[in-house]
Amino acid sequence: MCSATHSLAARRPTSASWICCTTIATTGPTGVSLRRCFRTFVGSVNWGSIGYSVGALLGALTAAPERRHILFVGDGSFQVTAQELSTILRHDHKPVIFLINNGGYTIERGYLGKTQAYNDIANWSYADLPKVFRRDTSARSFVVKTSKDLQDALSTPNDTMVFVESIMDPYDALAPITNSSNKGADLNYGPRGPQHRENLQLRPTT
């Protein structure tokens, strides 16, 4: 996903804004802050409120329709406010949306319930939603599983909405994310909490 961000930023270095859900890392593998690639960064960093970003995208599109808006959102976050995609399409806005489909609440698997069903969510056919919400949509949708798929999606013309559903492994998370969840569980449940039992937490790969 980081390569996608850099690639898009390179294509639109001065006018792009980046809207982000709460669990997307804002630092690339090289430690470079991706926020600097964009003119404006919008995120719910203080409140950590999932679902915020889809509504924020609509707000940013309404405020500055002439600019290019790029949303990165998790599947769990998206499902909270997905209906706003309908409003975005009704107003004929043309953002680029990257939706990370990793089968549910990956960041929560680092607290507790690595394999528990309460961290799984319904596996919507996300890339079909522009068509569901607007019959005559011109949106271009992609389901990407490999870097080649991603390159193909990034090569598409950007004169319409571009919706990229990225399929990722539920256990694929950066170490800073899992470390922070593991620490959060220690705070929540205390030193003798259930988080220390075998295989209950998603932990950083060593």
Ligand X SMILES: Cc1ncc(C[n+]2csc(CCOP(=O)(O)OP(=O)(O)O)c2C)c(N)n1
Q: Which residues bind ligand X (CB under 6 A)?
A: 21-23, 48-51, 74-77, 100, 102, 105-108
Query: Judged by CB, which is closer to ligand X: 118, or 159?
Result: 118
- Measured at CB, which residue is nearest to ligand X? 74
Query: Judged by CB, which is closer to Mg ion: 22, or 102?
Result: 102
What single string gives the DSSP state of each residue in the chain? -HHHHHHHHHHSTTT-EEEE-TTS-SB-TTS-BGGGGSSEEEE-TTT--TTHHHHHHHHHHHH-TTS-EEEEEEHHHHHHHTTHHHHHHHTT---EEEEEESSB-HHHHTTS-TT-GGGB-----GGGHHHHH-TT---EEEEE-SHHHHHHHHTS--SS-EEEEEE--TT---HHHHHHHHHHHHHHH-TTSGGGSTT-S-----
Asked if 113 is part of the footprint of Mg ion (rule: CB under 5 A), the reply reads no
Closest approach, Cβ 62 to ligand X, in A, equals 22
Query: Judged by CB, which is closer to Mg ion: 37, or 166?
Result: 166
- Please answer whether residues 102 and 76 qualify as being in contact, where contact means their C-beta atoms are separated by less than 8 angstroms: no
By C-alpha distance, which of 99, 141, 143, 106 is closest to 121? Answer: 106
Closest approach, Cβ 103 to ligand X, in A, equals 8
Q: Contacts with Mg ion in 91-110 (CB under 5 A)?
A: 102, 106
Query: Judged by CB, which is closer to ligand X: 48, or 176?
Result: 48
Query: What x/- string results for residues 60 through 89 when contact with Mg ion is judged by CB under 5 A?
Result: --------------xxx-------------
Closest approach, Cβ 128 to ligand X, in A, equals 18
Q: Which among ligand X, Mg ion, none contacts residue 108 (Cβ within 5 to 8 A by kind)?
A: ligand X
- Please answer whether residues 77 and 99 qualify as being in contact, where contact means their C-beta atoms are separated by less than 8 angstroms: no
Closest approach, Cβ 104 to ligand X, in A, equals 6
Q: Which among ligand X, Mg ion, none contacts residue 21 (Cβ within 5 to 8 A by kind)?
A: ligand X
Site residues (vs Mg ion, CB under 5 A)? 74-76, 102, 106
